[in-house]
Structure 1
Amino acid sequence: MKKVLLIASVDFHFTSFHIPYIKYFQQRGVEVHIAAKSGERTKELEALGVIFHHIDFSRSPYSPKLFRAFFDLKELMSREKFDLIHVHTPVAAFLGRLAARSTKTEPVLYTAHGFHFYKGAPVLNWLIYYPMEKIAARWTHGLITINREDYERGKHFNLKRKNGLFYVHGVGLSLEEYFIPQNFDQERHKEKMGFRKNDKIVVCVGEFTRNKNQQQVIDAMHEAVKIDPDIHVLFVGTGEQEEKLKKYVKQLNLSKNIHFLGYRRDIPEILWAGDAFILTSRREGLPRAMMEAMAAGLPIIATDIRGNRDLISHGQEGYLVPIGDIEKTKEAILQILKDSKQVEVMKYKVKEKIKIYSIESILKEMDQIYKTFINI
């Protein structure tokens, strides 16, 4: 029986993105191993028949834990003799490729879910992560990128295999989960959530971090509600900056218009109640939350950055705004909530655009890549 090893920093990376790929290998008689830091999702992975190996990774490239993680990976590869290694997440991917090189385990694939160096990235990111990726590329047989900027960057890497650079449309999304049911009554659902018929709802899903930059949404709303007080933003998620942003909302007297819903499992229903989606991140690889909103038919407001640009074109599926530009963000919110023919066209275009990002489409793309490196 052939064996593959999937590597990432934490277990929930696999439950979030890779269950279809685990099943893909299992259906072809391949034994799937995962090396990651064990957590709340480990049992869920083991219930799928995965052989889980706890590796105490750190996401920080400075952590002394990484030495132990490297030797544990090296011992695992020497013992198990894998037929394919597929690595994810920057630090774990570097160590995985180094261990594979040390044990002469190959081939090795790496999916870059968004390089930490990009146009506009902090200088420190370029000083640390660019050399890491440049060096590790020489131990990599296949580099899989999920946005155009990373694909172009990857052309400058010296991969171990000729023609080893690939571009795929993300990790795949089960679109049907987010399609609005025909019998869904948006007005009634809004009322159940405590909103009025005429209220307009903008949804924002994401962890509260500096990178997700929710303050730009709040500042834009401070101006937008002066013109249209019926606009509401629903923030879905948790994170380190949550309390700080809640206090900021209170300071601006926006508590009636900005609502913090916390961690939720009913994301599709929240999206179906919405009229638009907004994401003002400073950095993205290919934002899954935006893809989910597109499948639900919501026009998009997003910052004009890598990843976001791959999903929408300005004026087509929504609007792209500069990072930190409050005035243009406000204008985009007001414009996208107008009941106009242009917005109706946007709702159609987002549903058409997202089709190529379905899990069915991505599995076909990945099937061709996997079969290039392993006979299954």
Structure 2
Amino acid sequence: MKKILIVSTVSRQFYLFEQGNIEVLNSLGYEVHTAANFSDANERLDVLNIKRHHFDIERNPFTLKNIKAYKQLKGLMKSENFDAVHCHSPMGGVLARLAAESIGISPVIYTAHGFHFYKGAPIINWLLYYPIEKVLSRYTDVLITINKEDYKSAQRFKAKNVIYIPGIGIESNRYSNIFVDKKNKLKELGITSDAYVILSVGELNENKNHEVIIKALSNIRYKNFIYLICGQGDRADYLMNLANSLGISNKVKLLGFRNDVIDLYKVADIFAFPSYREGLSVSLMEAMSAGLPVVCSSVRGNTDLIQDGQGGFLNKPTDIEGFGNSLDKLINNTEMRILMGEKNLQEIEKYDSNVVKEKMKMVYENKRIM
């Protein structure tokens, strides 16, 4: 039996983003091994048909601990005699490609889930990450990008093959067979049935930029709305203090981590996604699959999914007035919300998990790693 090693920085990568790839590899007869820092491991890993290998990799590119991690990973590769390596995350991609090159493993596949250098990125990102990716591309048989901006950037590199694959895929028809009693769900959440529900899903961090929506909502004409934010993070107090200072604390609900996100998509009227940086967002694709119109930032990945004025509205991440106008238009135009939601239902079919799995199967087979 052939063996492949999937490498990442943290183990949650495997159950959040790699289940489709693991399924494809299993179908091709592979024994799938995974290597990561498993300090974040939980029971969700137990359902995956994988072998686990812990090594002490850290996200921080400047820590000396990654020297030890490199040696651990190289030792693992030597002892297990893998037939191929598929690596993810910036540091996972660095250490895995260096280790595989040093002992002669080929092919090496690297999926870039969003380069740290991008249009509008800080100059330090370009100075640090661009040269590293360019050099390491020489040790890459297949470089997979998940959005069109990264695909264009990767054309300058020396990888043997550069391929665009639309993210990790999503079950595009998943929501069509799910019924949610909207009235009861809203009652459970303490929301009146006549309120317009605006939903965001994402960590409470600076990148997700939830504050721009709070600021925008404080300025719109129509006040019968509720803004729900699903996610955890260190900015909860900041966001609620901001809402309080703007006089809309009763309009903003921080829901934390939720197991019923699908239900929330189904009862929402609008999806808001104002991030500064994305690769290709699963949350945004889920909202599209639920038939929601979208107000989002005009950044890489988002612009792959949403065309301005069709599936929703695009605004610069800092454009408070622009977000406010977009939300105002959607709240006050039922027909527009319906048409944009229908457009998103059509568009998301291109990103269906079966489409992505078939493309990944071709990658694995064409590289003769079976």
TM-score normalised by structure 1 residue count:
0.95
Q: Distance in 1 between matches of 2:132 and 2:348?
A: 33
Q: Distance in 2 between matches of 1:329 and 1:45?
A: 39
Equivalent AA in structure 2 for residue 27 of structure 1: S
Q: 1:361 to 1:141 in 2, by over 3 A?
A: same
> Is the contact between residue 172 and residue 357 of structure 1 (CA under 8 Å) also seen in structure 2?
yes
Q: 1:32 to 1:42 in 2, by over 3 A?
A: farther
Task: State the partner residue of 1:89.
Answer: 89
Q: Distance in 2 between matches of 1:180 and 1:153?
A: 39
Q: After superposition, what is the alpha-carbon deviation per residue over 1:245-278, rounded to whole angstroms, capped at 9, x for unaligned? A: 1222222221111110011111000111100100
SS in structure 2 opposite 1:175? Answer: coil
2:159 matched to 1:165?
no
Q: After superposition, what is the alpha-carbon deviation per residue over 1:73-130, rounded to whole angstroms, capped at 9, x for unaligned? A: 1111111111110000011111100000111111100000000000000011111111
2:238 matched to 1:241?
no
Match of 2:255 among 232, 237, 261: 261
Q: After superposition, what is the alpha-carbon deviation per residue over 1:175-224, rounded to whole angstroms, capped at 9, x for unaligned? A: 3443363x533234323322122100000000011111111111101112
> Is the contact between residue 292 and residue 337 of structure 2 (CA under 8 Å) also seen in structure 1?
no
Task: State the partner residue of 2:171.
Answer: 174
TM-score normalised by structure 2 residue count:
0.97
Q: 1:43 to 1:330 in 2, by over 3 A?
A: closer
List runs of 5+ in structure 2 lacking aligned partners.
none
Task: State the partner residue of 1:218.
Answer: 214
Task: State the partner residue of 1:330.
Answer: 324
Q: Distance in 2 between matches of 1:88 and 1:56?
A: 16
**Offset at residue 31 of structure 1 (A):** 0.5
Task: State the partner residue of 1:4.
Answer: 4
**Offset at residue 317 of structure 1 (A):** 0.2
The residue correspondences of 1:264-303 to structure 2 (distance < 5 A) are 264-303=258-297
Q: Distance in 1 between matches of 2:14 and 2:279?
A: 17
Q: Distance in 1 between matches of 2:337 and 2:75?
A: 56
Q: Distance in 1 between matches of 2:82 and 2:191?
A: 55
Q: Distance in 2 between matches of 1:206 and 1:243?
A: 16
Aligned positions, number: 370
**Offset at residue 43 of structure 1 (A):** 5.1
Q: 1:190 to 1:339 in 2, by over 3 A?
A: farther
**Offset at residue 296 of structure 1 (A):** 0.6
Q: After superposition, what is the alpha-carbon deviation per residue over 1:304-362, rounded to whole angstroms, capped at 9, x for unaligned? A: 11100000000000000112111110000111122343322111110111111111110
**Offset at residue 23 of structure 1 (A):** 2.1
Q: Distance in 2 between matches of 1:180 and 1:284?
A: 29
Task: State the partner residue of 2:188.
Answer: 192
Identity of aligned pairs, percent?
A: 35
Task: State the partner residue of 2:118.
Answer: 118
**Offset at residue 28 of structure 1 (A):** 2.4
Question: Which stretch has the larger CA shift, 131-140 or 14-23?
Answer: 14-23
List runs of 5+ in structure 1 lacking aligned partners.
none
Q: Distance in 1 between matches of 2:42 and 2:205?
A: 25
Task: State the partner residue of 1:14.
Answer: 14
Q: Distance in 2 between matches of 1:201 and 1:232?
A: 5
**Offset at residue 24 of structure 1 (A):** 1.9
Q: Distance in 2 between matches of 1:95 and 1:21?
A: 21
> Is the contact between residue 134 and residue 157 of structure 1 (CA under 8 Å) also seen in structure 2?
yes
SS in structure 1 opposite 2:53? Answer: strand
Q: Distance in 2 between matches of 1:177 and 1:17?
A: 17
Task: State the partner residue of 1:146.
Answer: 146
**Offset at residue 42 of structure 1 (A):** 5.3
